[in-house]
Structure 1
Amino acid sequence: SGLVSLWRRPENRTGFLLLTVGYFWFLGALAESNDDWVFTAGIALNSVVFGAFVHLLLAFPLGTLTSRRDVYLVAGTYAVAILGSVSLLIVDERPDPNCSSCLSTLAVTDNATAQTAARVAATALALLLVVAILATVGRRFVRASPALRRVLGPVIASGALAMLIIVAQLVVGIFSERAAEPFQFVFLAAFAGVPFAFLAGVLRARLARSAVGELLLDLATRGASLRDALARALHDPSIDIVYWLPKRGDFVWHDGTAFVDEGGPRTARYVEHNGERVAAVLHDPSLADEPELVDAVAAAAGLWLANERLQAELRAQYDFLETIVNTAPSLLMSLDLEGRIVNFNTACERASGFDEVEDVRHQYFWDVFISPEERAAVRKRFLQDPAHLPGEYEHGFVNRRGEELVVAWSNAPLRDEHGDVRNLICGGLDVTERKRRERELARERDFLRTVADATPSLLVVVDDTGTVVGNSVNRGFERTIGWSAGEMLGRSFISLFRDDESYYARLGVASAFNGVEPAERISHWCTRAGGERVIAWTATPIIDGEGRSLALVIGADVTDRERRAAELRSSEERLRAAIEASPVAIVEYALDDTITRWNPASERIFGWSAEEVIGGTAKHQPPERLAELAELFRRVRAGEVYTGVESRRIRKDGASINVEISAAPIRDATGKVISHMALFADITERKRQEGEVKASRARIVQAADDARRVLERNLHDGAQQRLVALSLSLRLAQGRIAGDPLAAESILESARSELALAIEDLRELARGIHPAVLTDRGLEAAVTTLAGRSPVPVEVVVPAERLPGAVEAAAYYV
């Protein structure tokens, strides 16, 4: 069997494995030798044949082991077969009980217990290996394809039978070697059947090739399908056929659909007819061991495959066209000569709005795709001459779902072989979206025109030469410059500029066409009335509807803005001059309390220059007044304005000065406080003068108090005493006037003298309070008179001119 397999399949190692099993079988004959070394070698190698047998069983039909598990099982079988025999030879001097003179040259002991242990261990391992091998080949048979089962069936059956007999022999041999001896003969018979199983496979291939002709004859006479005939001929129910389309360069199934190779275990056999590839037969890989059978079947079926390839190609073309028609966005339909719809594609179905496809068929074209007000005219034209309908036309209609559609139709007659019109092919393009966009574009154009006319900006479109194109001048331009759109059409945009600014106008337009980032330019444009307007403008590149590159000039009349900006600059300059010339210190603080402005008066009053303080915090603030400064900053940051706050500050030289502070917040356009400004007036001199005034006032008050005390003393000691004495004299005279008139008269005379003295004292006192000479002749005369009564020499120095009365009175009493 091995030689036959090598002859039939030299590339398959199955024949080699069969030969190996045969040759290894003869190794057991060495145990019949009378030489102990040869005998020992025969016993040691007696079971190697089982390793080769398992190798053959697991490698069939490819001749190689296909999985790591198979490798492990084969290696394990070889190991158990060799090591099991060698272990017995080591512990048993006479391994053959029927030959007492046959000695093991490897024996180191002759221990019955060790012999039993070695036999049990070898038997147990052998049983495990046999069970694993049977499970593996059984699983492989179950998972195999039907074609592969036909190949594996005889070999696996005979091999499995031999393995089962080995299991029975090993199990029985554990209990009784004598009882196990009959199984040896049964095993030999089953083992001898394995090569015949291989020969049966070879014979089956021969018989199958002879039956190919009969099966193909059945194909021709009984009308069986080609695939079924090939499946029976090759005994492979999984067989498939794909057909080669040379124009497409790929394979298709019998229904024309493209073949996609998804991998898998199947093998392809290409079939040619008259030197041209027509198909490929996809069969089970097990048939690769029978290439003659496959080749014979393929050669015999070439004609049928060529015919079916033509049918597959026709179906593929039909499916291709059907796919194109149904996936095309255009509406395609076929009408009969009465205007009924015969065939239509998916786009027509969707456009019709019908829920059921067959409801569209046999409907009149105009009843489905023409609006009611136009149906009569379309029907009349169609029935008059369907072959010469207008080539292209558009119709709007409302379909069954209530959707409003617009379709652009085109017609073409379909003629038969005699030239007569058989059908009319109508093709339509749904332009609903295009029409909607056209309407939206028109509305958008009108909207943009309205916006352009309503915007106060100046809009004009120019080409690369600066010439105004189209109706591109808006009303803002007309109102500001005075030229209308018609007057500006074809006119140079550069002519609007003053002569000294025309270069910059050309530069701005050229920049737009050269991809330069648009930048605002301010120029003087000449109006139609001969005036000038200041315009801030930019030129931006645009593309018109015809694809031309143009520039959109957008301008804004900033004449008033520029005037106000000039006024603002002038105002700022005046403010700067006022701040610089201000006699008071003006300091501006940021929100973080750093100084941002420091005028010359600040430098003069506090001593620090602007470079020393700007960007830093206040250096002129005394440390003991930090809380006061924080409170003032908080108030002004909260938006409060305060004035006339007196405080103290320090100069750069360390001197302390009195200042009067006024502060107000500075706000941005939104009213948010962004900084504040403080004014410091140096009031140190004023404070000194105020101190002197207060001291003078205190001296005046003290002098007045002293004068009052002198007046009180003079009245008490002078006139008051005389008046008291006068009062007593009058009472005494009153008491004596009735009884002693003379005494009363004497008392009254004395009282008269006292009264005269009292009057003199009062006059003297009055002259001291405000002497008449002070009123009549002034301060110099009054002081000179007063000095004349002084007991010490007095030098009088008085201004020559008269002073106000109140001043002279105050000076007199001081």
Structure 2
Amino acid sequence: MDRLPHLPQSGTELEEFFDLSVDLLCIVGFDGFFKRVNASLERTLGYPKAELFSRSVFDITHPDDVQPSLDALAQLGEGHDVVGFESRVVCADGSVRWLEWNTRTMPERGVVYGVARDTTERRRTEAQLREAQRLLEASRDELRVLAEEQAALRRVATLVARETSPDAVFAAVGREVGEVLGVDATHLGRYDTDGTVVSVAQWGSHAGVRVGARFPLEGDSVSARVLRTGQAARMESYEDAPGVIAATIRQIGIRFSVGVPISVEGRPWGVMIATSKGPNPFPAETESRLQHFTELVATAISNAEARTELAASRARLVAAADQERRRVVRDLHDGAQQRMVHTVITLKLAQSELQDQEGRASELVKEALGYAQGASAEIRELAHGILPGVLTRGGLPAAIRSLASRMTVPVEIDVSTPRLPEQIEATAYFVVAEALTNVAKHACAQHATVTSRVDNGALRIEVRDDGGGGARTEGGGLIGLRDRVATLEGTLTVDSPPGGGTVVTATIPPPARA
């Protein structure tokens, strides 16, 4: 049997093995002084051996780690080995490095054998990984917040695009801003020319001011600051602030407020405010996030103002047209129609005088009388078509009965409508007149009905026939009626399936709205 080769045990070879180790090796006495160190430890710390042997381990230990190191040495003195103990050392160049120690106690010799590894780079890498993880988590949070904010902006933008009423947009913005920012409450105010701000919307977890409440802008408040500077503003205390607004805010218990201006076409319109009862101020980016929503609010207000101005312009045009119709009717009645009536009477007298005489004079007078009577009838029809006097005298029921009386198709009438403002009655009359005209000319109907009711203040008119259906809803007459009804904020619909007859329905809101 072969014997194992002899392993060298000389001190020189052990010394070389000790010094060649890449780990940091040392022997330390229980008093904390180095007894022996290898080259790796010497290179890592940067101290020459002579200096290391003259100093205690605790002389080069980081001050924050001295006490834990003393506790570890006490455990070693009791004969307990220490594994995986980490502490910092101060190197000769002043740098600080982390060392991880594994030790073996030799009580009979009064020393401790230590093996250390430099974990500085590993710790730095781990710290970088932790920071990267933190940044990743922060980025995820930021992306989540951004996604929520963009979703809220899209919902508000959809309302604006659908021409939703400003009040509904205000309420939606207040809710969306409050939920996205996570604030206690939000408030929208409109500046008035009398030096006040009016609440137009609010949202929140605590009771605020009611919508419609009006406050003077005297004193100090976010609303006053925004109006005065035209810039975003914030307040972090209302304790000593003067004014009615500040007193109200103190009573509610609000501590922090941030406000941004709402500008419409370059003019200050109002303010959007986020409030909190504390304990921390709003983040620095709150103003910019609020501003994203105020731009949509401004668009909604601008659109609404444009629609209002368009409706007012249409109403003025319709009113002017109706007034001009009435003037033409008066002029026809007082002028041409009266002259035609006088001409007819005169011709009748002349015809009577010429009856016993021979010649063509009687025939010519008779012919002229026919022309005059026809012209008089045409003038009456023209005046009637412009705006009938029966509408002015008897209201919508009388005017509809007059229209039905001239129809060649039987018309059933179910109208119970009180007197309404002139503009509403005229619009309703033209709806019925156009619908019945279409029945007579195009529907090939056997029967028609006209119903009219006032329900909850709104006038509803319906003209129905049993004709062939398939009406051209894009015809000029119906388009004009839609525009006219729209000036009163009403609607006009036409339901005309082929073979199923036609139903024309107009709904006009209460006179106060119209």
TM-score bracket relative to the smaller structure: under 0.3
Higher RCO structure, 1 or 2 (CA under 8 Å, sep 6+):
2
Answer with 1 or 2: which has the greater Rg: 1
Give the TM-score taking structure 1 as reference length: 0.17
Considering fraction of residues, name the structure with more helix. Answer: 1
